[in-house]
Amino acid sequence: MPRLRDLLLQAALLGLVAWGVAALWATAKARMAAQGIPFSFAFLSQEAGFSLSEGVTFAPGEGLRPYQPSDTYLQALLAGFFNTLKVTLLGLVGATFLGVLLALGRLSANPLARGLALGYVEAIRNTPLLLQLFVWYFAILLKLPPWERGISLAGAFLSQRGLLLPEVALAPGWGGLVLAGLWAWLFRRRGALALWGALALFLASWVFLGPPLKARPALPGPFGPVGGIFLSPEYAALLFGVTFYTAAFVAEVVRGAILAVPRGQWEAAYALGLSYLDAFRLVVLPQAVRIAVPPLANQYLNLAKNTSLGVAVGYPDLFSVYSTVANQSGRSLEAILLVMAVYLSLSLSISAFVNGYNRRVALRWKL
């Protein structure tokens, strides 16, 4: 009886939500029809007629190519989506790496490292992301010297027009790096043999074949970059902003997960003769990962959604392109539905990936 009552309540609530959505949909369509604007996605095939500061799009028969004002509204939205994806993917990797380093710094026995990590986390977490984007864009990147007097630093070139970073390409010694990795994987259960054997293979390949990677320095030309990886000030501000902001939250998640592992696990590892590094790598870290993965998914989703703030610094992300498309075409409802569907798909994809990894590392009990 209680189960039937719960099912009826849930069905009633679902019906109420469906009725509300249907009512809103009917009202929106009626008002659009009254203004002579029938609901349709046919506008997506019309010429956009506006330019973007950067971005690539997909064209049938051409593949990916730079966006042009003669492209359609659909191709303009695709360019915005690719720009959003470019920030999201690099931001996820950077925030995870930096967050783990900050977490280890907060747990360090060195008071300087612990204090610096604490100061960073508290300062970043307690200031708005929008303010941080303004600091990156207006107070840092736009204060760099002009292009003609740019700063060359470690193969990179910094100026108001953006950051020109050196390209990294494979060199003849990359085979030695593969062999070292294969050796470490084959003998992963033998500790010292895996470590020293992989190191010996790597050094031997470096001596006889050279380094595995080579950097191609960035070459600034008189009118723009020649070679290298170019980051516009808008893209760099958004990427650095969301990366450094999310890293502070990732650090707290990872730190909490490490502290959640019972102290007895450390003591048991030491009793088996493991060093601090081996105890952390083999005993504590695998357990901490299982604890950290679910809350990390929330931070990754926040990063993907925070990329929509790129409009504040002039970066042509999906939301920024949507604003232009809606203003020019007058199709606000259709455009916002597309944008919502894209963000929903992106968030669901991140959730599916993180949940799949969580299922892979989860403990499985056999009764």
Q: What is the pLDDT of residues 113-132, one digit of tens each?
A: 899 999 999 999 999 999 99
Look up the pTM and report it: 0.81
Query: Has residue 85 got a pLDDT over 70?
Result: yes
Crossing angle of helices 111-125 and 233-260, in 10° steps, is 120
Query: Has residue 61 got a pLDDT over 90?
Result: no
At position 299, the amino acid (one-letter code) is: Q
What tens digit of pLDDT does each residue of 90-109 get?
Answer: 999 999 999 999 999 998 88
Mean pLDDT score, 42-70:
88
- 87 exposure class (CB count in 10 Å sphere: 0-12, 13-18, 19+): buried
- Residue 234 near residue 314, CB atoms below 8 Å: yes
- What angle is formed at CA 206 by the lines to CA 205 and CA 211, rounded to 5 degrees? 120
At 277, is the pLDDT very low, low, confident or very high (cuts 50, 70, 90)? confident
Mean pLDDT score, 302-310:
93
What tens digit of pLDDT does each residue of 196-224 get?
Answer: 777 777 777 777 777 766 666 656 666 55
Indicate the DSSP class of residue 140.
I
The pLDDT value given to residue 225: 60
Mean pLDDT score, 258-279:
85
Distances in Å between the Cα of 54 and the Cα atoms of 48, 61, 282 are: 15, 21, 45
Residues 184-192: contacts with CB within 8 Å, 24+ apart? 191/278
At 14, is the pLDDT very low, low, confident or very high (cuts 50, 70, 90)? confident
Residue 1 to residue 84: CA distance in whole angstroms: 50
> H/E element holding 231?
strand 229-231
The pLDDT value given to residue 357: 83
The tokens describing 85, both together, are: 């994806």
Closest CA to 322 of 18, 311, 26, 14: 311
- Full set of structural domains in the chain with CATH: 56-144+232-361 (1.10.3720.10)
Query: Has residue 157 got a pLDDT over 80?
Result: no
Closest CA to 85 of 293, 238, 245: 238
Distances in Å between the Cα of 178 and the Cα atoms of 93, 172, 184, 191, 212 are: 22, 12, 10, 19, 9
Average pLDDT taken over every residue of the chain: 84
The pLDDT value given to residue 147: 76
Residues 6+ apart with CB under 8 A from 168: 213, 214, 215, 216
Task: Render the burial of 134-144: b for 16+ CB within 10 Å, e for the rest.
Answer: bebbeeebeeb
Mean pLDDT score, 170-185:
71
At position 148, the amino acid (one-letter code) is: E
The tokens describing 318, both together, are: 């999906």
pLDDT over 90 percentage in the chain: 37
**Residue 151: beta bridge partners?**
158
Distances in Å between the Cα of 43 and the Cα atoms of 56, 137, 254, 329 are: 20, 34, 46, 7
Mean pLDDT score, 78-84:
93
Between 150 and 57, name the one with better pLDDT: 57
The tokens describing 131, both together, are: 């303010």
The pLDDT value given to residue 367: 46
Between 275 and 133, name the one with better pLDDT: 133
Query: Has residue 179 got a pLDDT over 80?
Result: no
Mean pLDDT score, 14-38:
78
The tokens describing 50, both together, are: 């506006």
- Residue 203 near residue 237, CB atoms below 8 Å: no
Mean pLDDT score, 61-77:
89
Query: Has residue 321 got a pLDDT over 80?
Result: yes
The pLDDT value given to residue 42: 83
Residue 22 to residue 28: CA distance in whole angstroms: 10
- Residue 127 near residue 278, CB atoms below 8 Å: no
- Residue 56 near residue 79, CB atoms below 8 Å: yes
- Residue 328 near residue 50, CB atoms below 8 Å: yes
Closest CA to 74 of 331, 362, 262: 331
Mean pLDDT score, 47-57:
89
